[in-house]
Structure 1
Amino acid sequence: TKPVVIDGSTPWVAAGEGDLPLLQQSMTQLNLPISAADSNGFTFVHAAASYGQIETLRWILAQEGVHVNAPDTDGDTPLHHCDDATAARVLVEEGGADFCIRNQEGKTAREVKEEELREQQEEEEEEDSDDEDIVNLKELVQYLKGLEGSNDEEMS
């Protein structure tokens, strides 16, 4: 077998692909902390959450020094990057992610996902197809709405 070549992007790719052994190896070899971010402010939490890599996400969240609400250069937290409800649940319920954080456009994760859902539904109408991404986004939006609803009840 060919040896694995580790470069600066390797740990983020590994986190996004759910390759935990490669993530760990590349972090060690590159001497990166769990809170490392790339030039766009994208952390390992962003990478694992945005691609729904649940086991890898759980491992990352269990590490000391991880920042579950770290914003990227657009102010988007890992929750803003989620594309399914499972990753969002792990971020919020296990990682303590704050679902009220607004990005640089002033939008919460729910608002960003509602916008994405509308755009995808419009595209689907034009293409006349059934899209799994839309189903996942609907579930995610419902989850995020439920969080905001429970937060409203706690405040009253």
Structure 2
Amino acid sequence: MFAFSNQQQNSEEIDSSTPFVAASDGDLALLQKSLQHLSLPATVADSNGLTLLHSAASYNQIEVMRWVLSQPNIDVNAKDSDGDTPLHHCDQMSAAKILVEEAKVDYRIKNSDGQTALQVKEEEANEMGGEMDDGEEDEDFKNLEELVGYLRSLP
């Protein structure tokens, strides 16, 4: 996944990765500017099939998610090269709720490993929980447990 720092970029520094960096960082102005500068639609995907919605959902960038979802022809169930949808990439319940309740994603879609988003997140939670010391509280783990609980509650 991406690990980006939030930095100012001017037109000379905008390249094909800029929209994805901006989506991950929650920088809507830079996202819009870079798409315009590169003449790209909001439906753009990188070489791994990651869309702007994947990038924003991965980092719980709610404002960017809502903007992307408001654009024409967005495939809310787009799969990356691993068959993961934006929902598979969510690590927080708030992003998942937007995808499920507002964008009406198909939360039953399985990735290339035959796993739904719920199964992927349960596996991640089990791995993360096993790595923590007794009594240790981790914000990421709490967010993941909350997300798993939400996904389990879906019909």
Provide the TM-score with structure 1 as the length reference. Answer: 0.90
Partner of 1:143: 150
Computing the radius of gyration from Cα coordinates, the structure with the larger value is 1
Structure 1: distance between partners of 2:122 and 2:43: 28
Q: Structure 2: any 5+ residue segments left out of the alignment?
A: 1-7
TM-aligned CA deviation for residue 27 of structure 1? 0.5
Please identify runs of 4+ aligned residues in structure 1 that moved more than 3 A.
1-4
TM-aligned CA deviation for residue 2 of structure 1? 7.5
TM-aligned CA deviation for residue 3 of structure 1? 3.3
Query: SS at the partner of 2:16?
Result: coil
Partner of 2:110: 102
Partner of 2:136: 129
Deviations 1:6-34 (A, max 9, x none): 01100000000000010001001111111
Paired residues, number? 147
TM-aligned CA deviation for residue 96 of structure 1? 1.1
The answer to whether the aligner puts 1:24 opposite 2:11 as a matched pair is no
Q: Which structure's residues are more often helix, by fraction?
A: 1
TM-aligned CA deviation for residue 68 of structure 1? 0.7
Letter of the 1:131 partner, please give it: D
**Structure 1 segment 73-84 matched on structure 2, within 5 A:** 73-84=81-92
Letter of the 2:40 partner, please give it: L
Structure 1: distance between partners of 2:41 and 2:95: 22
Provide the TM-score with structure 2 as the length reference. Answer: 0.91
**Taking structure 1 as reference, are residues 114 and 7 closer, same or farther at Cα in structure 2, changes over 3 Å only?**
same
Query: SS at the partner of 1:118?
Result: helix
Letter of the 2:150 partner, please give it: Y
Percent of aligned pairs with the same residue?
A: 54
Letter of the 2:149 partner, please give it: Q
Query: SS at the partner of 2:43?
Result: coil
Q: For 2:42, which of 21, 34, 40 is the aligned residue?
A: 34
Q: Structure 1: any 5+ residue segments left out of the alignment?
A: 151-156
Deviations 1:26-46 (A, max 9, x none): 001111111110011000000
Partner of 1:153: none
Partner of 2:5: none
Letter of the 1:134 partner, please give it: F
Q: For 1:70, which of 66, 78, 83 is the aligned residue?
A: 78
